[in-house]
A and B are shown apart, each in its own frame.
Chain A
Amino acid sequence: MPINWRLASRRKALVARAAILQAIREFFIDQGYLEVETPHRIPAPAPESHIDAIPADGWFLHTSPELCMKRLLAAGYPRIFQICRCWREGERGKLHVPEFTLLEWYCAGGDYHGLMDHCEALIQSVARRTGRGDTLAYQGQEIDLASPWPRIAVEEAFSRYAQVSMAKALERDQFDEILVRDIEPQLPVEKPIFLYDYPAARGSLARLREDDPSVAERVELYIAGLELANGFSELTDAKEQHARFLREETYRRSLGKRPYYLPDKFLAELQDMPPSAGIALGVDRLVMLFLDAASIDEVIAFTPEEL
């Protein structure tokens, strides 16, 4: 046994991880998507209330490749995907490492309903290409990957699984707490499930529904209770986006967080962006699901504590 037997014992996970990455690439390339790479270190992250970027030599490490990928969309690259490392300060737990791998893709002309279809096709394809068929076994649960996957509105999820309505939860500033504590553990696990239509204030880069501007066209994918992906019908109204960024930045600063510059170039180019849909999927968690791993530590070569 090598001195670092913990690392040696992760061979199975690392091999499976490589196969999953390969299968993801094949899926998108087959569908005519262009793989892109955008800088990891950027001057101005999108201000978001509850996501903190790590400073890097006066700039920041990106928390997702969202802004640069949208600038590509605006410049006429309609179908793009990226697999990259992202950084979020202070996020460490069984499902979190501060440096993690995100798959993000955008499709011009699409909306969040299309994203849900696309997620189903992607996961099914990756399962097939890595020899897993159409069921997953995760922590004693059997998950059937065959379409269609249930889709429920967030408001409905609150009325089904929580003691209080979504409106009440928002009013009491308990939306996230109830989501994590009461709803996520009760979501059905026989199939993956989508939650969609989040409160408008919870989708700062998402388009609001035309017929109900109290909700944003945002969707989250859960498999076996794990939050796996988050996507939107993208907001393309530059003026509105500017106003929302200011609101988020004001909130961030009120909490004493590090100030960000506004991403001016992104805001200037947003007017060229066609109606689009985009989504980010946590690759480490996908590997956890496929490998039946209880902790993210089991599917990455090095945890921060081991460096």
Chain B
Amino acid sequence: MYTVSDLRKRLTIVINSQPYIVIAFEFAKPGKGQALYRTRLRNMVSGAIIDKTYRSGDTLEPAHLDQRNMQYLYKDDDNYYFMDNETYDQIAIGAGALGDAKNYLMDNLTVDILFFREQAIGVNPPTFVNLRVTEAAPWAKGDTSSADFKPVTVETGYELRVPPFVVEGDLIQIDTRTGEYVTRVKE
């Protein structure tokens, strides 16, 4: 069993025999009051999203998920297709169940496919992926005063905030757990 202090993004739990993944998590506490752990959970099968609040002392049932190494092939309107590297079996996963992982899916990327009770339900990308910046506002050289971040788009269409020195064409490393920029990759 998990306790509320185990709660974090991407934790997987079982509610009413369905696997859920924590997609947003907020600690809320009135100064003198009880701590509340507000979560937004995605049903890993249907993609449905629910909000649930936990309190100190509550327990959560862990979802035991099997992982299989597979390669991303392509997508169509409804599904993303993957191939088992050993058996060459192909499977399809609905876009709804993919969540943030679709931000990192480049052709031929090897990912872990998640199975819950023999059903493919989701994708775990590698913790760090390198993606090329395809769109970025230019950086005014010498502008050391601007400490802010700027938005860029990478090759998968994903948008994120990066330090101002990142320019179009750069390869950047992204932490797929947080979706955040880590560093510029030297080529």
Contact = CB atoms under 8 A, between A and B. Distances in A.
Interface in A103-154: none
Contacts of A50: 29, 32-35
Contacts of A51: 31-32
A93 B32 contact: no
A93 B147 contact: no
Q: Name A's interface SS.
A: mixed
A179 interface: yes
Interface residues of B, number: 22
A48 interface: yes
Interface stretch (A8-16, A32-40, A75-83, A267-275): A8-16
Given A1-B165, A9-B163, A177-B53, A92 B27 contact: yes
A93 B29 contact: yes
Interface string B35-58: 110100000000000000101110
A156 interface: no
Interface in A21-56: 48-51
A11 B147 contact: yes
Given A5-B163, A8-B147, A9-B147, A230 B33 contact: no
A50 to B, nearest CB: 5
Interface residues of A, number: 32
Contacts of B142: none
A90 B35 contact: yes
A86 to B, nearest CB: 11
Nearest to B144: A1
Nearest to B146: A9
Contacts of B127: none
Contacts of B31: 51, 220, 227, 230, 280, 282
A210 B80 CA distance: 68
A253 interface: no
Contacts of B30: 176, 179-180, 227
A172 interface: no
Given A96-B27, A255-B57, A177 B34 contact: yes
A227 to B, nearest CB: 6
A131 B31 CA distance: 29
Closest 3 CB pairs of A and B: A93-B27, A176-B33, A9-B147
Interface of B: 5, 26-36, 38, 53, 55-57, 147-149, 163, 165
Given A1-B165, A91-B29, A93-B26, 19 more contacts: A9-B149, A9-B163, A10-B147, A11-B147, A50-B35, A51-B32, A91-B27, A93-B29, A95-B28, A176-B30, A177-B55, A181-B36, A181-B38, A202-B33, A203-B32, A220-B31, A227-B30, A230-B31, A255-B56
